[in-house]
Structure 1
Amino acid sequence: MKEALDHLVEKLDGLAPTAALVLGSGLGGLVDQVEDARRISYAELRGFPRSGVSGHAGEVVAGHFAGTPVLMLSGRAHYYEHGNAAAMRPALEVLAGIGISHLILTNAAGSVDPEMGPGSVMLIT
């Protein structure tokens, strides 16, 4: 983990975000709105997962989003890909190690509730 943490700190080049987003399906384009973006492939970060799901780029994108320093994980490992529920743990531990204190997980989900059409925001608890 230390190797990935040190490499990420180096690539962030002084940027110190405290918030991170894990982008789910359909949200990968959000990284294009990050200003002064630093892009780091998961392949450069030991322990970061490889995702085979379409739309999951497998990269860290850090910079400013709406004026706020932020880090985005574009892509994540899914349980059904590897059978490992802890596949994202090393990546999340690295985020904690660089000072991320707020984490927002996103995903694509469906609902049988007719009041929740496509594009609705839901809280999964």
Structure 2
Amino acid sequence: MLLREKIEQAKQWITQRTPHQPKIGLILGSGLGSLADEIEERTVLPYASIPHFAVSTVESHVGQLVLGKLEGQTVVAMQGRLHFYEGHSLEAVTFPVRVMKALGVEVMIITNASGAVHERIKPGELMLVSDHINLTGSNPLIGPHDPQLGPRFPDMSEAYSKELRSLARKVAAEQGIELQEGVYAWWTGPAFETPAEVRMIRMLGGDAVGMSTVPEVIVANHAGMKVLAVSCVCNMAAGILEQPITAEEVFAMAAKVKQKFATFIRGVVRNL
């Protein structure tokens, strides 16, 4: 079955179960999944029920699509994302983005948790992603080309919308949030990076590193959506503090920052 046929089947299944026609898509990463619980007039659809959706296996990711109203806007949110390190293909990881586009989404807001590579960025801060480095050697667009889904060679010179980044900075200023800005490096995981790898990322120009986001950003751009990505910096990357990194540390910091993060994202949505 062609990818676009799978997308259409998933779209039809969803539209039969909700009155909402979303224009804004949200991918809620580690620590921010609870924002989906604040969506009003909700339609909740578990990934396992949606045709051709993969199922999230990460404990902190609920794994459901939530459609409804947030700050007066009609949205569709992934409450928990899919990761390459779970063993999903990149087509499966990015399939929900394709479906969101089919549902009518024009703006994609993507959140994640990351480790700081540049020492000017501290745990607990939010980082606006200005660009990315793909360190995985793979790309979700590899494979047969379907011109109905997007161009064979999409431009990535403004993968992260300048207009949306400007809006985000304005919202941060209004809320009194010190918003960092930098380059996000995508590492496959699930192992954290070694100190030598972190030094390499710093030399390449990376400011933070994480295990998600870039595949979804590539596909969203391919599909013609505007993208905003914001990272919750949860720890200093390996070798900077000379202490072990644990998932518990990451989750604890994400939980600590989640209210500030959620308020910020709500402010962005309100101003779209």
TM-score with structure 1 length normalisation? 0.89
The Cα of 1:88 is off from its aligned counterpart by 2.3
SS in 1 for 2:92: coil
1:27-51 Cα deviation digits (max 9, x unpaired): 1110111111110111111121211
Question: How far apart, CA to CA, are the structure 1 residues paired with 2:66 and 2:88?
Answer: 26
SS in 2 for 1:46: coil
Out of 106, 112, 115, the position equivalent to 2:117 is 112
The Cα of 1:83 is off from its aligned counterpart by 5.4
Does structure 1 residue 43 correspond to structure 2 residue 11? no
Question: How far apart, CA to CA, are the structure 2 residues paired with 1:87 and 1:122?
Answer: 27
Give 1 or 2: higher helix fraction. Answer: 2
Gaps in structure 1 of 5+ consecutive residues: none
Does structure 1 residue 3 correspond to structure 2 residue 9? yes
Question: How far apart, CA to CA, are the structure 2 residues paired with 1:49 and 1:77?
Answer: 8
Could you say if the C-alpha distance between residues 38 and 115 of structure 1 is closer, same or farther in structure 2, counting changes exceeding 3 Å?
same
Which one has the largest radius of gyration? Answer: 2
Whether contact under 8 Å (2:24, 2:108) holds in the other structure is yes
Counterpart of 2:18 in structure 1 is: 12
Counterpart of 2:86 in structure 1 is: 81
Question: How far apart, CA to CA, are the structure 2 residues paired with 1:10 and 1:31?
Answer: 21
Out of 72, 75, 89, the position equivalent to 1:70 is 75
Gaps in structure 2 of 5+ consecutive residues: 1-5, 132-272
Does structure 1 residue 100 correspond to structure 2 residue 102? no
Out of 33, 36, 48, the position equivalent to 1:31 is 36
SS in 1 for 2:99: helix
TM-score with structure 2 length normalisation? 0.43
Could you say if the C-alpha distance between residues 83 and 47 of structure 1 is closer, same or farther in structure 2, counting changes exceeding 3 Å?
closer
Structure 1 stretches of at least 4 aligned residues deviating more than 3 Å after TM superposition: 112-115
User: Higher relative contact order at CA 8 Å, sep ≥6: structure 1 or structure 2?
Assistant: 1
Identity among equivalent positions (%) equals 33
Question: How far apart, CA to CA, are the structure 1 residues paired with 2:118 and 2:50?
Answer: 40
CA RMSD of superposed structures (Å): 1.5
SS in 2 for 1:92: helix
